């Protein structure tokens, strides 16, 4: 406990660099989730007509089997066509979401490539007492409250929106398919916008909390700062001794050169 209380000094640049080399970087998962959700919503809106076309083709294909006896080859064909259409729907999302995911991570802490965590195992994680202590830390309590609040707000929003959706559904079902798709697109946009706004607040908070904990976890004692300074700059006592020896050697060389000197200036 005393050692923790002594850690009052901000981490030096070397300590931060060493932490990054170990793969220890401030990474907010909520920021990653928010950017991924934003990209997904934008892609859905951009590819909405394409997705509707693929799903429409799939339903027309299913309806073509009504009133017919489905054979083993028919089942095989249904599975094959279904997999193909869903692959065509999902494929345009994979590459953009992958790039967004990489950007969401790199944008938080910069490029940091390390394989150290892949080949090293921290056996202290197997310590049950340490794990129990970690379960009741302030960070775990805050994370638990944040997750509970997030789940409650999202489920409440989804429930309210679902009730509104159900109320309008009988009326919308009387209109043509293009109108129904436009209505569905509008509802998706409104719900996604509200959800993104709520999650943005959580992402900003999580980013702040993650960086705060990261800096706090790297804080140093005054002695650690002094030791690091000595290691980088050299021990002042040793440096003083080296200068003293150098001066004596220089003086000895001067005295040895006096017999060969034509003029000697003294003070």
Listed by start position, the domains of the chain span 1-22+112-237, 26-108
Residue keyed to tokens 């294909």: 61
Summarize pLDDT for 92-149 with one digit per residue, the tens. Answer: 999 899 999 888 888 887 776 665 655 555 555 555 655 565 556 777 788 888 889 9
CB 47 within 8 A of CB 96: no
The three-class DSSP label of residue 145 is helix
**Vertex 127, ends 125 and 131: CA angle to 5°?**
70
pLDDT value of residue 2: 43
Summarize pLDDT for 6-47 with one digit per residue, the tens. Answer: 777 788 888 888 888 777 788 888 999 999 999 999 998 899
Rounded Cα–Cα distance for residues 156 and 149 (Å): 11
More confident residue, 5 or 90: 90
Is the model's pLDDT at 255 over the cut of 50?
yes
83 pLDDT tier (thresholds 50, 70, 90): very high
Mean pLDDT computed over every residue of the chain: 81
pTM: 0.68
pLDDT value of residue 34: 93
pLDDT value of residue 118: 53
Summarize pLDDT for 128-138 with one digit per residue, the tens. Answer: 655 565 556 77
Summarize pLDDT for 209-240 with one digit per residue, the tens. Answer: 988 888 888 888 888 878 777 776 665 666 67
> In degrees rounded to 5, what are phi and psi of residue 11?
-65, 140
């Amino acid at each position: 406990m005393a050692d923790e209380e002594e850690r009052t000094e901000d981490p030096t640049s070397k300590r931060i660099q060493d932490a990054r080399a170990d793969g220890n970087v401030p990474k907010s998962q909520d920021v990653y989730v928010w950017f991924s959700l934003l990209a997904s919503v934008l892609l859905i809106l951009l590819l909405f007509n394409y997705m509707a076309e693929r799903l429409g083709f799939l339903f027309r294909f299913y309806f073509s089997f009504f009133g017919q006896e489905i054979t083993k080859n028919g089942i095989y064909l249904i599975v094959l066509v279904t997999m193909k259409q869903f692959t065509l729907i999902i494929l345009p999302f994979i590459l953009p979401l992958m790039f967004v995911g990489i950007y969401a991570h790199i944008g938080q802490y910069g490029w940091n490539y390390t394989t150290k965590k892949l080949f090293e195992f921290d056996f202290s994680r197997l310590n049950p007492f340490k794990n129990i202590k970690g379960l009741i830390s302030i960070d775990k309590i805050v994370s638990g409250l944040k997750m509970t609040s997030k789940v409650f707000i999202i489920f409440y929003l989804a429930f309210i929106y679902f009730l509104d959706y159900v109320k309008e559904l009988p009326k919308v079902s009387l209109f043509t398919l293009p109108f129904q798709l436009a209505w569905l697109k509008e509802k998706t946009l409104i719900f996604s916008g509200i959800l993104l706004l709520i999650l943005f607040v959580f992402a900003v908070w999580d980013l702040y909390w993650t960086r705060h904990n990261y800096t706090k976890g790297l804080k140093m004692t005054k002695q650690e700062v002094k030791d690091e300074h000595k290691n980088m700059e050299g021990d002042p006592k040793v440096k003083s001794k080296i200068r003293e020896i150098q001066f004596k050697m220089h003086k000895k060389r001067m005295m040895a050169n006096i017999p060969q000197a034509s003029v000697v200036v003294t003070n």
